[in-house]
Amino acid sequence: MLTLLQSNPENTELFVADSLQKARLVETVHKLGDIDYRHLAIDLAEDLGWILLKIAVAVVIYLIGKKVIKWVIDIMDKAFSRHKVEASLCKFLRSLVKALLMTLLLMAIIQTLGVNTSAFLALFASAGVAIGMALSGTLQNFAGGVVLLLLRPYKVGDYIVAMGQSGTVEKIDLFCTCIKTPDNQTVYIPNNSIATSIIDNYSQSKTRRVDWTLSISYGDDVEVARREILALLAADGRVLTDTPAVVYVASLGASSVDLTIRAWAKNADYWELYFDINEKMYKELPSKGINFPFPQMDVHVKKE
């Protein structure tokens, strides 16, 4: 036998491996025989009971957390309704607060189950940095939308001028503001741009001053012109009488005397009043001896 093993090294390796396996199997059988199955069952029961207790506590935390989140959202809705916060801002804040509270609740449940949450927090932080860098421009518009909805420099229906565009605000989203121009064009302005620009809101006040510039001929009586213009304004019910209308001599031009006319009207009547008074002055003032001059040039010819 020894001669056979020595002559064939491969058989020697197989014999040794088989012997080691048999030895390990015998050792394992002896160990299984030495186990105290009673204590093992008690340990398993204790561990199972602890696991079930953790699961029960996690379920209780989840149920209580859901009620607390609903209670917080209801309080927010009542506060938004009382302060008349913009609908789009309400929706965004509700979603944001709910997402944050649900994340905290999930972390509390995971912690209760004995799972280390530091890895999750690191993962969320890394994902937030990556998303923030990828969506930097979009997030700026988003932040601008939040600022606009909170500060409310304008609202839907206001007539504004911003970023070289003028029109009536039709919609305020979290990323852009939609306005309708007087010629019925729809313009979308990024909120990041409009939030950092100068905004002229013509609908903020209930009243507005209407200004006209009228040029009359040299030689016309300024007092007559003033009296007739004020009479036109007084006869129009849209002109407010709280602040009297005025007519000033603004400048002496090359071909005309330029008058500045100022009167106050309701915001909604501004343009109609402006155009109607323009037409009335053109039609009625010439019959009162007030003329509208053409550009003139005096040419002097010298004889040599």
The tens digit of pLDDT for each residue in 57-95 reads 888 888 998 899 899 888 988 888 887 776 666 776 787
The answer to whether 205 and 267 have CB atoms below 8 angstroms apart is yes
φ/ψ of 143, rounded to 5, equals: -65, -40
DSSP calls for 191-245: HHHHHTS--EETTSSSEEEEEEEEEE-TTS-HHHHHHHHHHHHHT-TTB-SSS--
For 207-288, give the CATH class.
Answer: alpha beta
- Predicted confidence (pLDDT) per residue in 88-132, tens digit: 667 767 877 888 888 888 888 887 777 666 666 666 666 666 655
In CATH terms, 153-201 corresponds, of 3.30.565.10, 3.30.200.20, 1.20.1070.10, 2.30.30.60, to 2.30.30.60
pLDDT of res. 143: 73
Q: Which CATH number fits domain 43-134: 1.10.287.1260, 1.20.120.140, 3.40.50.10490, 2.60.120.10?
A: 1.10.287.1260
pLDDT band with cut points at 50, 70 and 90 for residue 4: very low
Residue in 181, 214, 216, 182 with CA at minimum distance from that of residue 292: 216
Whole-angstrom CA distances from 86 to 39, 119, 151, 212 are 65, 38, 11, 37
Domain boundaries, the chain: 43-134, 153-201, 207-288
The percentage of residues in the chain with a pLDDT greater than 90, rounded to a whole number, is 25
Does the structure show a pLDDT above 70 at 166? Answer: yes
pLDDT at 33 > cutoff 50:
yes
Average pLDDT, the chain: 80
Q: What is the value of pTM for the model shown?
A: 0.54
